[in-house]
Amino acid sequence: MKAIRTIAILILAVSVVAIATHQSPSADRYVNVVATGTVKVVPDAVQVSANISNLAPTSAASIAATAKSTNLFRTFLTNNGVEAKYIASANLSTNPEYSYPTNAPAKISGYRTTQQFTVILRDATNAGTIVQNLQTQVGNSLSINSTSPIVLQQSAAESSARKIAIASARIKADSYAKLSGAKLGKILSIDESVTQSFPQPLMATMAKSVGAQTPVQIDLGQQDITITVTTKWALK
């Protein structure tokens, strides 16, 4: 009797597996498609990389001089419509500087304090003039390292790029469906990634004279906003 029960259980287990396999739905057929959509937009802001640096006989004097310069820097920017949240300090350091006399040991010639900034100018069309006037206001302690046009408000561009990407994905998926003898069903899942092209930063050189100056122009050009979608489509 024990052997008979064991055989019966085994037969039942095999039957369950057979039924599950037989009932596996054909709707599991699908195709994965990757597609992209790209739109070109004119940047609406300019990112400026700058640093303020002062050399003084003592570290305390160097820090004080740099604090004075950075106060001029911040005040000018806020007075010209730049919100505080778009002014970010990247680093503050104070280090000794050395001179190296001939046939003599190195000696400290002073202390240099440097503070680095990243600033976003949302008035992109006047960014060159703002940077130029900022240089005049702060003086030679200010160095402009680079300027980069960027796109801050890109939701509209993303929406357009997304429509292009999904339309492209649908065309590809429909093509694969026809090639495999099936019909395209509904979309099952979508994953996306967004990329923004960044041009090489423009190195800025400011005039040193305080008289009449030729206005500085920062050319905005165009940038690509690209949406890449990974889609899964049902096949019927």
pTM, to two decimals: 0.72
pLDDT tens digits for 165-193?
Answer: 999 999 999 999 999 999 999 999 999 99
Assigned CATH class of 45-150: alpha beta
Give the residue carrying structure tokens 């994905």: 169
Q: Which stretches of 104-221 are DSSP H helices? A: 127-138, 155-179
Residue 215 has what pLDDT?
A: 85
User: For the chain, what percent of residues have pLDDT higher than 70?
Assistant: 82
pLDDT band at 200 (very low <50, low <70, confident <90, very high): low
Residue 213 has what pLDDT?
A: 65
Q: What is the mean pLDDT of the chain?
A: 85
pLDDT band at 103 (very low <50, low <70, confident <90, very high): confident
State the pairing for strand pair 30-41/107-121.
unpaired
Residue 101 has what pLDDT?
A: 86
SS3 for 122?
A: coil
Indicate the helix (H) or strand (E) that contains 116.
Answer: strand 107-121
Please list the residues that pair with 117 across neighbouring strands: 50, 89
Domain ranges across the chain: 27-43+152-198+216-236, 45-150
- The gap from C-alpha 103 to its chain's centroid, in whole angstroms, comes to 51
pLDDT tens digits for 1-57?
Answer: 444 443 333 333 332 323 232 333 444 899 999 999 999 999 999 999 999 999 999
At 157, list the tokens.
Answer: 């561009």
- The gap from C-alpha 232 to its chain's centroid, in whole angstroms, comes to 28
Decide if domain 27-43+152-198+216-236 falls under CATH 3.30.110.170.
Answer: yes
